Amino acid sequence: MPARVAILNGPNLNLLGEREPEVYGRTTLAQIESACRALADREGLDLTFAQTNSEGGLIDLVQDARAADGIVINPAGYTHTSVALRDALAACSCPVIELHLSNPAAREEFRHSSFTAPVVTGIIAGFGADGYTMALRALLGLINTRQEG
Ligand code: DQA
């Protein structure tokens, strides 16, 4: 059975390409999804790719993905605000990679704290749109290691 992986995106990421391009780049979320789907097809992964602007919607997506083999999540602004999202991620037993296009640690003070970072397996930040395929590769490595172990 192919490994099931979910890539989940939080608020405002639907605007990638036009939103603050000097920070987030010009690649759209649809282009990111295509790159991820191409990699998933090559690696034989069953990929779900989703985006929502609402906090509850993102929590529902995390809960739906709990049965998957791995999750990549860009929680966007909810990284810095949401105890409820953190609790949803803490309830996942599969590996979770938190992803940011920018490097929040190098930005405004309010982005330096993350509710989600302590409950995820690892973080990829600062590599722009390429971070998504990097995260997917990292997740694949974690899933393969788990299957071997
Ligand atoms: C972001 C960083 C967050 O601080 C910000 O609120 C976002 C995007 C990133 O991908 O760099 O919306 O998660």
**Atom number, ligand 1, closest to the C-alpha of residue 80:** 4
Nearest to 25 by CA among 103, 138, 133, 128: 128
Quote the pLDDT of residue 57. 98
What is the CA(132)–ligand 1 centre distance, in A? 13
State mean pLDDT over 26-40.
Answer: 98
Q: How far is 146 from 75, CA to CA, in rounded Å?
A: 25
Backbone phi and psi for residue 19, each to the nearest 5 degrees, phi listed first: -85, 120
State what percent of residues in the chain have pLDDT above 90: 95
Residue nearest to atom 13 of ligand 1 (CA): 76
The side-by-side arrangement of strands in the sheet containing 96-100 is 46-51, 4-9, 70-74, 96-100, 122-125
* Residue 89: pLDDT over 90: yes
Nearest to 131 by CA among 73, 88, 50: 73
**What CATH code would you report for 4-148?**
3.40.50.9100
**Closest residue CA from atom 10 of ligand 1:** 100
* Segment 52-56 mean pLDDT: 98
Domain boundaries, the chain: 4-148
pLDDT at 78: 98
Q: Mean pLDDT across the chain, nearest whole number?
A: 97
Overall average pLDDT of the 103-124 stretch: 97
Q: What is the pLDDT of residue 149?
A: 67
**pLDDT digits over 136-146, tens only?**
999 999 999 88
Residue minimizing CA distance to atom 1 of ligand 1: 76
Task: Tell which atom from ligand 1 comes closest to the C-alpha of 125.
Answer: 11
pLDDT at 22 over 70: yes
